[in-house]
């Protein structure tokens, strides 16, 4: 009996010695499932890609077309794909994806299987092919090329029937066999609803889980493009991040419970979009966002292009949170990326270059509490080689990596990367800085994944350490770096009261604000803001802030008539929240009648849904009426707010000019069948 126990103990001791010997001799940790494919590793290392929304909607001034549009409307005057791709390359993007066919079914290539395409447009006398021109531009400039193909087709007569799937796959085959290598195939979750459908003009619903037979469609893609990344809510190559703001989550896992997800599922954003620690498949997140409020080009958004501050924030909350960033450009009717859009994305690339100009950890002395041996020592986190990494010994789920400097350093950015080929491991970590002999906490987080970037206030110290508090298995770190990003001057914030008083504020109280009201770009020679501006009839305010020689970007807000003298006809006092010019308040109700206090020439109306974190009552279908006396009503607009569920921005609806003293907004249908939410209802007179 004693001999048996002794033998068992010896066996365990011998095994431990073998494990220790293997770790000391440089054996890598065992992978923690799931792990990425080679194509997924390449995809995540791309980090930043461009999206192009350019199609029939560009020429109809819509977000989602109905499917009955005349192909003759598509006629760009100066289409130049080289301009698109060169802009993206200069901005640091590695690939571009284009909306080859959106929900209206219009195809940017001369598809053999439909007449609803560029072959029946006046552009190049029907001999044009946007997909070919863009693929050739990508090859010329060294960017990878991808395609978006909408599963929903509001034009095709067979949508909703089995025959449509055959049609869909034939078009997919055209795209995957005629335009070279495709790095990403993009499918969104909009499926079924109202449409033209070959003249049927009806509503068609599909079973999103089974209708498309995705498994066989994916097999077709892999047969034709073996290395393509397939995007959808469920992947399998990469997944939607669950919003259209470009933000990943503070806790973002690349593993996903993929078999529990299907495209367009209502609960996806809340339950699955952030990934799961125990996910069954490696499906990294992709954060998509447009550089303007809308995805397609609308002239009235020329002054609503995202600020440098907003774009930089998106960069850090996407790429800096274990996701790739897909930034959209709404190409205009000329067929060009608008000058303002180009200007902003180049500013972004320049700002990121400044933020990460010099890695201040390069001359640090590195050590760790745990290491598998020389091949995996802490210096591997500083060598700029993505294939080398530090690793802890097996069974160790905590560790500390310490970097001490030859002299004090000031920094405000921290970059951490795991060696994702072996799986995502870290559950929690914190950062400490050595100051006068004491280690002081400066940051903490949960997941790391491919890349985590922390923004902190300026801190000065003699060293820094990464404390890994918990991991799924022995942690690995491939890169640890620190930087000192220069300060950025924030643009002013422009707000107006219901009575038309405009106030301009800046985060830094030391800054001086200069503004114009004549449409010109403000300079430090213009009027200084020192009291509220009276603009009850509306106008265009542009403002900059300046301090110590630094000047911010221009903030620009176009305003219409202030609602202070309007009155609510058919609802109680709470309904005033729908016209209080405060997007943080809202009123719930399916009909709102307003007396405008005067007869006005109206050119349209605006609707902003609730901006709450957990929204409800997004209006999908509406009717809008005008009246001179509040009794006889004229229907001036009816339609849908496309994509409002995913992109709840202000909806701007123009109509033929009409004179009115009363308006009536009716919510005919909401996304969740609950009372409509109205954060703001406004008019267009300018």
8 pLDDT above the threshold of 80: no
- Average pLDDT over the chain reads 94
Contact present, 59 and 332 (Cβ < 8 Å): no
The one-character DSSP state at 169 is H
pLDDT, greater one: 507 or 120: 120
pLDDT of residue 4: 37
Report how far residue 258's alpha carbon sits from residue 275's, in angstroms, rounded to the nearest whole number: 9
pLDDT of residue 263: 83
Domains of the chain (ranges, CATH numbers): 38-354 (3.20.20.80), 365-483 (2.60.120.260), 493-559 (2.60.40), 567-684 (2.60.120.260)
Per-residue pLDDT tens for 376-397?
999 999 999 999 999 999 999 9
DSSP state letter for 107: B
Stretch 586-607: mean pLDDT: 97
Please give the C-alpha separations between residue 157 and each of 151, 198, 264, 275, 402, in angstroms, as whole numbers: 14, 4, 22, 37, 64
pTM here? 0.93
Q: Is 270 exposed, middle or buried (0-12, 13-18, 19+ CB in 10 A)?
A: exposed
| Model pLDDT for residues 44-98, shown as the tens digit of each residue | 999 999 999 999 999 999 999 999 999 999 999 999 999 999 999 999 999 999 9
Q: Is it the case that residue 141 has pLDDT exceeding 90?
A: yes
Element holding 476 (H helix, E strand): strand 476-477
Using one digit for the tens of pLDDT, what is the confidence trace for 213-260? 999 999 999 999 999 999 999 999 999 999 999 999 999 999 999 999
Angle formed by the axes of helices 130-141 and 81-90, nearest 10° = 40
Query: Binning pLDDT at 50, 70 and 90, where does residue 508 land?
Result: confident
* Residue 323 confidence class, pLDDT cut points 50, 70, 90: very high
Please say if the pLDDT value at position 157 is more than 70.
yes
Token duo for residue 453: 């970037």
Chain center to CA of 419: 25
Q: What are phi and psi of 652, to 5 degrees?
A: -115, 115
Cα–Cα dist 116/118, whole Å: 7
Given a cut of 60, whether residue 1 has pLDDT beyond it is no
Paired residues of 390 in beta bridges? 477
Q: What is the pLDDT, as a whole number, of residue 6?
A: 33
As a whole number of angstroms, the distance between CA 58 and CA 108 comes to 12
Distance CA 686, CA 605 (A): 11
Find where tokens 């090329």 sit. Answer: 145
pLDDT confidence of residue 14: 42
The rounded distance, in Å, linking the Cα atoms of 402 and 410 is 17
pLDDT class of 153 with cuts at 50, 70, 90: very high
> Nearest CA to 243 among 317, 308, 150?
317
Q: What is the mean pLDDT of residues 399-411?
A: 97
Residue 20 has pLDDT above 70, yes or no: no
> Which pLDDT score, from 0 to 100, does residue 2 have?
37
Which pLDDT value is given to residue 286?
Answer: 98
Structure confidence at residue 3 (pLDDT): 37
Question: Confidence class of residue 26 from pLDDT cuts 50, 70 and 90?
Answer: confident
Residue 643 pLDDT: 93
Mean pLDDT over 479-506 rounds to 96
Is 50 exceeded by the pLDDT of residue 183?
yes
* Predicted confidence band of residue 212 (pLDDT cuts 50, 70, 90): very high
pLDDT-above-90 percentage for the chain: 91
Q: Is the pLDDT of residue 683 over 90?
A: yes
């Amino acid at each position: 009996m004693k001999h048996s126990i002794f033998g068992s103990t010896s066996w365990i001791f011998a095994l431990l010695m073998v494990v220790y010997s293997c770790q000391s001799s440089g054996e890598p940790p065992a992978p923690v499932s799931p792990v990425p494919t080679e194509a997924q590793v390449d995809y995540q290392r791309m980090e930043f890609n461009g999206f192009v929304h350019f199609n029939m909607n560009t020429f109809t001034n819509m977000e989602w077309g109905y499917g009955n549009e005349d192909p003759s409307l598509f006629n760009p005057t100066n289409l130049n794909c080289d301009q698109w791709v060169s802009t993206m390359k200069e901005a640091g993007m590695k690939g571009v994806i284009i909306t080859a066919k959106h929900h209206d079914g219009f195809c940017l290539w001369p598809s053999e299987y439909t007449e609803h395409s560029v072959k029946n447009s006046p552009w190049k006398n029907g001999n044009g092919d946007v997909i070919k021109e863009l693929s050739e531009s990508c090859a010329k400039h060294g960017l990878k090329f991808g395609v978006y193909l909408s599963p929903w087709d509001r034009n095709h007569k067979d949508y909703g029937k089995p025959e449509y799937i055959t049609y869909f796959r034939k078009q997919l085959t055209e795209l995957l066999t005629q335009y070279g290598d495709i790095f990403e195939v993009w499918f969104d979750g909009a499926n079924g609803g109202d449409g033209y459908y070959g003249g049927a003009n009806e509503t068609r619903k599909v079973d999103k889980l089974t209708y498309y037979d995705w498994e066989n469609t994916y097999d077709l893609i892999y047969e034709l493009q073996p290395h393509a990344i397939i995007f959808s809510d469920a992947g399998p190559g990469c997944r939607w991040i669950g919003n259209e703001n470009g933000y990943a989550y503070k806790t973002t896992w690349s593993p996903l419970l993929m078999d529990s997800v299907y495209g367009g599922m209502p609960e996806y954003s809340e339950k699955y979009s952030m990934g799961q620690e125990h996910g069954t498949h490696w499906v990294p997140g992709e954060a998509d966002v447009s550089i303007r409020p809308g995805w397609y080009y609308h002239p009235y958004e020329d002054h609503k292009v995202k600020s440098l501050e907003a774009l930089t924030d998106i960069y850090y909350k996407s790429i800096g949170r274990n996701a790739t960033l897909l930034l959209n450009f709404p190409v205009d009717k000329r067929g060009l990326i608008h000058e303002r859009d180009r200007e902003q994305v180049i500013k972004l690339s320049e700002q990121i270059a400044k933020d990460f100009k010099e890695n201040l950890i390069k001359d640090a002395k590195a050590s760790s509490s745990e290491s598998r041996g020389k091949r995996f020592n802490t210096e591997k986190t500083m060598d700029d080689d993505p294939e080398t990494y530090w690793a802890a010994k097996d069974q160790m789920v905590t560790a500390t990596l310490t970097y001490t400097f030859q002299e004090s350093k000031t920094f405000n950015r921290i970059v951490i990367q795991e060696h994702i080929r072996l799986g995502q491991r870290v559950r929690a970590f914190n950062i400490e800085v050595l100051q006068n002999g004491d280690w002081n906490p400066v940051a903490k987080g949960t997941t790391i994944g491919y890349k985590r970037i922390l923004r902190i206030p300026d801190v000065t110290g003699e060293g820094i350490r990464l404390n890994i508090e918990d991991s799924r298995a022995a942690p690995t770190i491939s890169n640890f770096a620190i930087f000192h990003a220069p300060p950025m001057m924030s643009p002013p914030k422009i707000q107006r009261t219901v009575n038309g008083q405009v106030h301009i504020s800046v985060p830094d109280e030391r800054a001086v604000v200069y503004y114009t009201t004549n449409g010109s770009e403000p300079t430090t020679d213009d009027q200084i803001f020192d009291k509220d501006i009276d603009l009850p009839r509306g106008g265009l305010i542009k403002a900059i802030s300046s301090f110590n020689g630094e000047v911010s970007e221009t903030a620009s807000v176009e305003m219409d008539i202030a609602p202070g003298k309007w009155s609510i006809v058919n609802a109680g006092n709470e309904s005033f929240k729908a016209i209080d010019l405060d997007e943080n308040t809202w009123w719930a109700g399916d009909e709102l009648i307003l007396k405008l206090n005067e007869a006005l020439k109206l050119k349209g109306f605006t609707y902003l849904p609730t901006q709450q974190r957990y929204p409800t009552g997004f209006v999908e279908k509406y009717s809008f009426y005008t009246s001179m006396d509040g009794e006889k009503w004229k229907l001036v607009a009816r339609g849908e707010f496309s994509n409002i569920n995913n992109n709840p921005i202000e909806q701007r609806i123009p109509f033929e000019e009409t004179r009115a003293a009363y308006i009536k907004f009716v919510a005919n249908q909401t996304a969740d069948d609950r009372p409509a939410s109205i954060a703001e209802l406004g008019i267009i007179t300018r």
